[in-house]
Structure 1
Amino acid sequence: MGINLQKGQKISLDKEAGGGLSHIVMGVGWDAATGKTGMLGGLFGGGGGNIDLDASCLMFDEQGNQTDAVWFRQLRSRDGSIQHTGDNLTGEGEGDDEQIKVDLSAVPANVKSLVFTVNNYTGQDFSKVANAFCRIVNGANDSEIARYDLSCQGSHNAMVMAKLYRHNNEWKMHAIGETGKGRTFEELLPQIKPHL
């Protein structure tokens, strides 16, 4: 098992993985919270229904300019180094509901940081979401390097989860965990900028 990250914590991915990390997977999982609405609430659309959380990976250069984005409308970065496995509309099932695969060795040299966000496209706030997490997995052996619990109840429907960034020729991870509002990552960009 990997390290359980706290908000604001920074780790070296190479050190946690035992060195030589080239392929990682950012997995995101969630469930629809149960028992939050009575029968009348369900009848009148007071919650319930499917929850569609969307994981995105944004690429930024040294100057903090966005160079590309991988999300449900573009499942592959233009350079091919980042691949989204596809949109999960409900959170049904065990384990990761969405995955973003990153070939760290192929990320273009001008890209300094990768920022991972999660947005609730169906619009419910996180009080309707249970057991939400993101985790970094070593793509070479499927071992979990780090996990970050996102199950913070509240009126937000989006989160800036984490940033991977280059520092002294190695990749580090910063668990940001900043809540926000927005159905897509574009609405989070003003919140992301200070973290670049």
Structure 2
Amino acid sequence: MTPGSNLPLSAVRVAVDVTAPVRLDVSGLLLAADGKVRSDDDFVFYNQPAGPGVTHSAAAGGGDTITVDTAAVPDGIEKIVVTASLDQPGATFAGTEPTGTVRNADDNSVLASFTPPQLGAETALVVVEIYRRSGAWKVRAVGQGYANGLAGIATDFGVSVEEPAAPAPAAAPQAPPAPPAPAAPAGQWGPPAGTPAPAAPPAAPPAPAAAPAAPAAPGKINLDKGRVSLQKNQTVSLVKGGRPLLSSVRMGLGWEPAFRSKSIDLDASVIAYGPDRKKVDNCFFGKLMILGGAIQHSGDNLTGEGAGDDEAITVHLGGLPPEVTGLVFVVNSFSGQKFSDVAKAYCRLLDAQSGEELVRFDLTHSEPRTGVMMAKLIRQFSGEWEMTALGEYVDARTVRGMVKPAGKAL
């Protein structure tokens, strides 16, 4: 095939093998009529190998394979683009000729092949696309290159979005605060399985009439003495003046490239869990608002350059639904660079209205891995939230790969 050419598909299940003399990361994105993914579930790659009708696997003889079962692709999906990016940071496709081979996934017969010509400074490209036209499926040779890696492709197709201005305090949801979730006896995570969440009561009375929270447990720090600097595994109760902090808070996360290192694309996310440690939802650069606006993300920063927080996540604690009893804040290296290439990584909790810094945690060491759990917030029986510094590293390049290890860290 040549760039722009297309062929009808004679098979219901087709496999696209992408091979090259060097290691590639191959992915498939399911796109709706607007040319965008519907959610992060439509991004299929090695760390999230299955989506609706599309799977990722290692190809026999090297390379990766994206398999498309056209009969299982949802009606709202118009095309699946197959992309390739170089596994080596900073490398380009100059001198490298990746080839996409389309075959019948059931009998392995070759239907088409395509080698994008004249590649140079590109670090990622769309190889082919499987698309729907008048009820039939076709394959088109594309070969469109990107100089900004997989992040550039992700941005084009809606996995990433342009960074909006940080939410103004006045934009916070005005819904009445949710009641505290039922909590378990000491030593347990939550209520017994099957315990229903209580219905939300009417709006709470003004703060002066509310009963003060129980004092923080012995050995735990609260906010009465001002800003708290946490060490790894240390916990602070978000209680000030005897009352739990239930206003809006902002978790700021920041980093800088290590000395003589290139810019690094890190992504900050938060995962919300229920009392059974099961994920309720997650908020990240591709999903900037969850839980009815109770959690909002500032948008993606692709380099980490500049002073101050690189990404921020605002949490309206009083507006969280009762089924959310834990939050874990994570950072991932979307481009695959290791945290050993990062300097000055930190997280800090601020009062979203006043901007006052409440809690800070600075990572004092780094590991050559691609994900780190920075901190967790857990709702207590008495209604307040506790923040614990984690600083635990894992191998995961997206928030999807953080769900299980973060759940275990609760």
What band does the TM-score fall into relative to the shorter chain? 0.7 to 0.9
Give CA deviations for 1:127-160 in whole Å, capped at 9, x if unaligned: 1111111000011211111111125222122111
SS of the residue corresponding to residue 292 of structure 2 reads: coil
Residue 117 to residue 126, structure 1, CA distance change in 2 (3 Å):
same
Question: What residue in structure 2 maps to residue 74 of structure 1?
Answer: 287
CA distance in 1 between partners of 2:242 and 2:338 (Å): 34
CA distance in 1 between partners of 2:245 and 2:288 (Å): 26
SS of the residue corresponding to residue 400 of structure 2 reads: helix
Question: What residue in structure 1 maps to residue 275 of structure 2?
Answer: 62
Between structure 1 and structure 2, the one with the greater Rg is 2
CA distance in 1 between partners of 2:364 and 2:307 (Å): 16
Matched, 1:165 2:378: yes
Matched, 1:51 2:276: no
Question: What residue in structure 1 maps to residue 401 of structure 2?
Answer: 187
* Of 18-27 and 120-129, the range deviating more from structure 2: 18-27
Structure 1 residue 14 displacement after superposition: 2.1
SS of the residue corresponding to residue 293 of structure 2 reads: coil
* Of 98-107 and 149-158, the range deviating more from structure 2: 149-158
CA distance in 2 between partners of 1:19 and 1:109 (Å): 16
Structure 1 residue 178 displacement after superposition: 0.8
Conservation of the 8 A alpha-carbon contact between 1:56 and 1:117:
yes
Matched to 1:29, the amino acid is G
Aligned length: 184
Question: What residue in structure 2 maps to residue 27 of structure 1?
Answer: 252
Give CA deviations for 1:72-108 in whole Å, capped at 9, x if unaligned: 1101004210000100000111100100001001011
Q: CA RMSD in A?
A: 1.8
Residue among 297, 300, 308 paired with 1:87: 300
CA distance in 1 between partners of 2:342 and 2:387 (Å): 25
Residue 34 to residue 191, structure 1, CA distance change in 2 (3 Å):
same
* Of 17-26 and 145-154, the range deviating more from structure 2: 17-26
Matched to 2:359, the amino acid is A
Matched, 1:142 2:367: no
Matched to 1:5, the amino acid is L
SS of the residue corresponding to residue 254 of structure 2 reads: strand
Structure 1 residue 63 displacement after superposition: 1.1
Question: What residue in structure 1 maps to residue 319 of structure 2?
Answer: 106
Matched to 1:61, the amino acid is G
Structure 2 gap segments, 5+ residues each: 1-225
* Of 9-18 and 62-71, the range deviating more from structure 2: 9-18
SS of the residue corresponding to residue 160 of structure 1 reads: strand
Residue 70 to residue 16, structure 1, CA distance change in 2 (3 Å):
farther
Residue 16 to residue 50, structure 1, CA distance change in 2 (3 Å):
farther
CA distance in 2 between partners of 1:184 and 1:29 (Å): 17
Give CA deviations for 1:27-60 in whole Å, capped at 9, x if unaligned: 001111123xxxxxxxxxxxx4321111101110
Conservation of the 8 A alpha-carbon contact between 2:279 and 2:403:
no
Residue 110 to residue 89, structure 1, CA distance change in 2 (3 Å):
same
SS of the residue corresponding to residue 373 of structure 2 reads: strand
CA distance in 1 between partners of 2:379 and 2:355 (Å): 22
CA distance in 1 between partners of 2:242 and 2:288 (Å): 26
Matched to 2:340, the amino acid is S
Conservation of the 8 A alpha-carbon contact between 1:23 and 1:139:
yes
Question: What residue in structure 2 maps to residue 5 of structure 1?
Answer: 230
Give CA deviations for 1:96-127 in whole Å, capped at 9, x if unaligned: 01000010010111100111000011111111
Q: Give the TM-score normalised by the residue count of structure 2.
A: 0.43
Residue 16 to residue 58, structure 1, CA distance change in 2 (3 Å):
farther
Q: Give the TM-score normalised by the residue count of structure 1.
A: 0.88
Structure 1 residue 20 displacement after superposition: 4.0
> Which of the two has greater helix per residue?
1
Matched to 1:146, the amino acid is V
- Which has the higher relative contact order, 1 or 2, with Cα contacts under 8 A spaced 6 or more apart? 1
